[in-house]
Amino acid sequence: MAPEPDLAGVQREFERTLLGGERKFTRVQVSERAGISTERAERMWHALGFATVPDDEVAFTDDDVEALRLVAALEDDGFIEPEMESSLARKLGQTQSRLASWQSAMFLEFLGGSKLSPEESIEVAGLLLPAMERLQTYVWRRHLAAAAGRAVAGSDELARGVRAVGFADIVSYTRLTRRLTEAELGELIERFEGTAADVVALNGGRVIKSIGDEVLFVTDTAAQGAAVALALQDAVSADPDLPELRIGLAYGTILIRLGDVYGEVVNLAARLTTECKPGRVLADRELAAALDGHPAYTIHRLRRVAVRGYRHLVPYAIQRADGPPA
């Protein structure tokens, strides 16, 4: 009879593989070795999205010490302002948490379909981790180079944070969630996000975030914003497996902070989305004015509407110059 596997030992080995080493230090010890206060280390730990660790629990590795030292050095060198430290950690934590959740689900799905032993699974994880780290670093560097290029070549408007902002929203999403199975809903969201990411990138925009039934994107010019919105409607209408979209656009100065966007322009785009008919694109006054006279687009002023925060919002229907009447 084969001996029972040491599940606790397997779990420890798997954890060691993921963390890059053994847990050696308590939270007081890791702070001392990093040369920062326990209060500052705890603040960063929470901002990264992790729960409080008891004082006597051995929970931290050499990599945790190095990470704390690195953040402290970046602040000491003036690269990170002290008041931005927690915000930076929070954004990093949120981004990486979402990525890790997806990757772990993908890995578990792979293991579920394989006949690997626990020891073999650990070996596979050890091979995958370096490959995933290299891939993530590559993508990050490419995005960093693209962002730097836009900043260097940008106009005065771009320097002031003037952008076109768009929301693309799935029509009747709540009804769909009641009708579809979890697997079908997952496939729908994946297809929608993939289509949106492709269309936005091909037309010179950037996806800021996707939240289930909605994608938020920005472009550097009003014309690019219109191109993204109309191309996205075309792509969705050509795909029988995707429901219709509503898209709202607005143009003006936005606050770009830690990869997210804020301000009245973002709010306007969101409000216009709620007023938009399925399959159409609505824009605010500023974006319509920026497109005035553009040979590729026609603009139709619609009746003003009252929405939350805006009692006299004037929407404009945007379509291609050679398209059917709005």
Mean pLDDT for 290-305 is 92
- Measured CA to CA, the distance from residue 224 to residue 218 in angstroms comes to 9
Mean pLDDT for 36-51 is 86
The model's pLDDT over 139-170, given as tens digits with 9 standing for 90+, comes to 889 888 877 776 666 556 655 678 999 999 99
- Measured CA to CA, the distance from residue 249 to residue 229 in angstroms comes to 8
**270 class by beta-carbon count within 10 Å (0-12 exposed, 13-18 middle, 19+ buried):** buried
pLDDT at residue 252, as a whole number = 95
- Measured CA to CA, the distance from residue 170 to residue 274 in angstroms comes to 11
The model's pLDDT over 195-207, given as tens digits with 9 standing for 90+, comes to 999 999 999 899 9
293-309 in b/e form (b: 16+ CB < 10 A) is eeeebbbeeeeebebee
Q: Do 229 and 219 meet the contact criterion of CB atoms below 8 Å apart?
A: no
pLDDT at residue 5, as a whole number = 52
pLDDT at residue 1, as a whole number = 46
For 132, residues 6+ apart whose C-beta sits below 8 A from its C-beta are: 103
For 300, residues 6+ apart whose C-beta sits below 8 A from its C-beta are: 316, 317, 319, 326
Mean pLDDT for 260-288 is 94
Mean pLDDT for 65-71 is 88
- The DSSP bridge pattern shows strands 297-301 and 316-320 to be antiparallel
Which tops the pLDDT comparison, 89 or 297?
Answer: 297
Which tops the pLDDT comparison, 93 or 278?
Answer: 278
pLDDT at residue 6, as a whole number = 56
Q: What phi-psi label fits residue 50: left (phi over 0), alpha (psi between -120 and 50 degrees) or beta?
A: beta
**Four-point Cα dihedral 48, 52, 55, 60, nearest 10:** -40
Instruction: Please tell me the least confidently modeled range out of 86-95, 184-193, 212-221, 289-298.
Output: 86-95
Quote the pTM value: 0.69
